[in-house]
Amino acid sequence: MSEPSPAFTIALAGQPNVGKSTVYNFLTGEAQYVSNWPGKTSETRAGTFEFEGDLIRLVDLPGTYSLSANSVEEQIAREYIIEQRPDVLLVILDAVTLERNLYLVAELLHLPVKLVLGINRMDLAAGQGMHIEPQVLEAALHVPVVPLVAQHGEGIREAVAAAVRLARSPQSWQPNRPVIRADHQQVLAAVEDLIRGHVPAHYPPGWIAMKLLEGDRVVTDTMKARLGAAWAPVHDLLVQHDDAFLAVAGGRYDWIARMVRAAVVRPRSGEVSQTDRIDHIATHPFWGVVILLAVMAALFGLTFALGVPLQGWLEQHVVQAAAAAVPALLRGAPDWLVSLAAHGIIGGVGTVLTLLPILVLFFAGMGVLEDSGYMARAAFVMDRWMHPFGLHGKSFLPLSFGVGCNVPAVMESRIIEEPSARRITILLTPFVPCFPRLSVVVLLAPIFFGAKALAYSLLLFSLPLIFIALYGKIFHELFQKGKHNAFIMELPLYQKPSARAILKSVGARVVDFLQGASTIILVVSVAMWALSYFPGGQIESSYLALWGRQLAPLSRLLGMDWQMAVALITSMLRSENTLSTLSVLYGAGAQHGLAAALAGQIAPAAGLAFLSMQVLFVPCVATLAAVRTESKSWGWMFAYVALRLATALAVGVLVYQVGRLLGWGA
């Protein structure tokens, strides 16, 4: 015996995760049929249920945000509605994001189908302080609206009853549809006239015309094929009105705003407003900066307080112990091999590796700030601060990425279309001190400045920012004539940082650091050792000393000896090379660690000049290659090297000479 034919077909539509499946399961129970849509991999479900004596067929359409053919699901939903014409479409909306959900309704109202709206999660919306008046919304839309709490089965049968009533009295269907903006209504009519007689069966010409104005890819391709030579005038009209999208989609948003004006009162409390309350202070023009400085000071303070003693312990008990064991382990080996192992490899790479505790703490702190959502606010606050200096909009994005690594940050300048603005950003981005550069300061500042390391570090970190602002202002006035580029940030909600995410981020960065230590830092350490050992086995008569002494006149102005100048130059291969080179050249290893080797030999003024130059010096070669690639000009790259060199030297000389006058030179 065959099953009786259903009296009605109701299709369920809605955005993903709004509770459609809950409604479907409530109504059909186990009586469901699952299959793929013809020619698609997307799954569909259809089932039947009895309602007040009628058998009703229920089809669960894929969840979609709109009907713009951006995805297979959207295409399936609109094709089903137009071609299969269910008697009623029960659209499930999420009360918490009602406005966003109404966009789909705005599109559905132009299709040949009658709608009933079920507003689900009314309880959650109420819990977040939202007050929704379904009857007011119904009056505004002229569409039946039923409140639901689908999880508890509340309102579902009432929604079905409304759908059955609508199916039985189709003449009552007089919805308030969104309209295209007035100045484009004639264009819409003209397109409709041109395509009439060519649209596929079942498809309303008005809907096709609207989709053409929106630039819908699938509809455009279909009509192009069906119209053939007659496509040309349609195409010309669409090109003439390439802003029609704003008129069509803008009309929908205007409609949504009108519909919810009286029916929805937004939350005064809850998660969103809690974020807003925090942001009121965290993104404040003045307090936001104060908070940012306090947060960064706390991060560096904690890193110094915990990381530096650990680093010292590693240096003493691991690096020095290992270096001291080398002569015994390599008994009988030539002197140069012992020296290479003790000073070149263990002294150089080992010293860099002792940075690990500092880096782990620093990365973990940054991970907490990032995962909590605070760093987005920090970027926002910084953007506001930089506006007076001519740096804004798109330029700020690569600049803020530069903290991680300058190479991808320079590449990010591609987001700027205008060539001169892009080149300015390419030049400014590598001024941002990257993590490796920061780590050199974090390690050396306590050696040079003792208890005042934190204050000096903050001063040193602000130096590049001052030059970004200064050069930004100059370049912007010279090349940009004060032109603005806008950008918008979506600040994420604050959240409790996830330990897993932080561990993952710290792990990824540590691996990157170790890879650098095992490759380029090792090579540079060995090369520096070789140049400082040969030809006679004494550093003072080495090739490097011979070459380094050529820099003596300049070094004197900076208060540095040649070893420090060479260390600075090796940072161009990788920033941490500064540390390994200093370790090799100052003989850190078996006898004493880097701290002890440097402490007695470098005056505070020279140390400050050295670190000032370190943060302003020519960036690593990988960054220079990125500058060359992105600017497509060797000239810009060399001009950039000259600018960085001149800046670093000028600041270094100034800092040392002023420091000397203040009595810090001894």
Asked if 268 and 357 count as a contact pair (C-beta separation under 8 A), the reply is no
Candidate segments 241-249, 301-309, 471-479, 581-589, binder of other proteins by CB under 8 A: 241-249
Nearer to other proteins, 142 or 217 (CB): 217
Q: Among 512, 523, 543, 645, which residue interacts with other proteins (rule: CB under 8 A)?
A: 512
Q: Among 287, 487, 547, 638, which residue interacts with other proteins (rule: CB under 8 A)?
A: 487
484 binds other proteins (CB under 8 A): yes
Half-sphere exposure at residue 491, Cβ-oriented, CA atoms within 13 angstroms: 20
Under rule CB under 8 A, which residues in 346-405 are in contact with other proteins? 366-367, 370-371, 373, 375-376, 378-380, 383-384, 387, 392-394, 397, 400-401, 403-405
Asked if 241 and 184 count as a contact pair (C-beta separation under 8 A), the reply is yes
- Give the nearest distance from C-beta 280 to other proteins in angstroms: 11
Candidate segments 112-120, 194-202, 345-353, 482-490, binder of other proteins by CB under 8 A: 482-490
Amino acid at position 5, single letter = S
Closest CA to 459 of 599, 615, 303: 615
295 binds other proteins (CB under 8 A): no
Q: Where are the alpha helices (DSSP H) in 93-155?
A: 98-108, 122-127, 134-141
Q: Among 508, 546, 552, 662, which residue interacts with other proteins (rule: CB under 8 A)?
A: 508
257 binds other proteins (CB under 8 A): yes
Burial class (CB in 10 A: 0-12, 13-18, 19+), 328: exposed
Q: Among 481, 490, 496, 500, which residue interacts with other proteins (rule: CB under 8 A)?
A: 490
Q: How far apart are the first and last CA of the chain?
A: 106
Max CA separation in the chain (angstroms): 106
Q: Among 37, 103, 203, 640, which residue interacts with other proteins (rule: CB under 8 A)?
A: 103
**In DSSP terms, which residues pair with 88 in a beta bridge?**
10, 114
74 binds other proteins (CB under 8 A): no
249 binds other proteins (CB under 8 A): yes
500 binds other proteins (CB under 8 A): no
- Give the nearest distance from C-beta 131 to other proteins in angstroms: 13
Nearer to other proteins, 54 or 254 (CB): 254
Q: What does residue 475 show for φ and ψ, rounded to 5 degrees?
A: -65, -40
- Give the nearest distance from C-beta 542 to other proteins in angstroms: 35
Candidate segments 114-122, 291-299, 312-320, 503-511, binder of other proteins by CB under 8 A: 503-511
For 82: left if phi > 0, alpha if psi spans -120 to 50, otherwise beta; the answer is alpha
Candidate segments 114-122, 165-173, 254-262, 520-528, binder of other proteins by CB under 8 A: 254-262
The three-class DSSP label of residue 45 is strand
Asked if 210 and 220 count as a contact pair (C-beta separation under 8 A), the reply is no
Asked if 433 and 400 count as a contact pair (C-beta separation under 8 A), the reply is no
Residues 406-435, one symbol each (x = binds other proteins by CB under 8 A, - = not), give --x--xx--x-xx-----------------
Q: What does residue 535 show for φ and ψ, rounded to 5 degrees?
A: -90, -15
Q: Among 48, 128, 485, 629, which residue interacts with other proteins (rule: CB under 8 A)?
A: 485
Q: How many CB atoms lie within 10 A of CB 31?
A: 11
Which residue pairs from 281-287 have beta carbons closer than 8 angstroms and sit at least 24 positions apart in sequence?
A: 282/374, 282/377, 282/381, 283/377, 283/380, 283/381, 283/491, 285/384
- Give the nearest distance from C-beta 70 to other proteins in angstroms: 7
525 binds other proteins (CB under 8 A): no
Nearer to other proteins, 559 or 619 (CB): 619
Q: Among 254, 310, 336, 534, which residue interacts with other proteins (rule: CB under 8 A)?
A: 254
Q: Report the distance separating Cα 13 and Cα 113, nearest Å.
A: 12
The three-class DSSP label of residue 48 is strand
- Give the nearest distance from C-beta 370 to other proteins in angstroms: 5
492 binds other proteins (CB under 8 A): yes
Nearer to other proteins, 27 or 256 (CB): 256
547 binds other proteins (CB under 8 A): no
66-103: b or e for each residue (b if 16 or more CB lie within 10 Å)? bbbbeeebbbbbbbbbbeeebbbbbbbbbbbebeebbb
Q: Report the distance separating Cα 97 and Cα 323, nearest Å.
A: 64
CA distances from 204 to 192, 199, 200, 338 (A): 10, 8, 9, 86
Nearer to other proteins, 104 or 584 (CB): 104
Q: Report the distance separating Cα 582 and Cα 610, nearest Å.
A: 12
Asked if 230 and 262 count as a contact pair (C-beta separation under 8 A), the reply is no
Residues that bind other proteins (rule: CB under 8 A) add up to a total of 66
Residues interacting with other proteins, by CB under 8 A?
A: 65, 68, 70, 97-100, 103, 215, 245-246, 249-250, 253-254, 256-257, 266, 272, 276, 279, 283, 366-367, 370-371, 373, 375-376, 378-380, 383-384, 387, 392-394, 397, 400-401, 403-405, 408, 411-412, 415, 417-418, 484-492, 501, 504-505, 508-509, 511-512
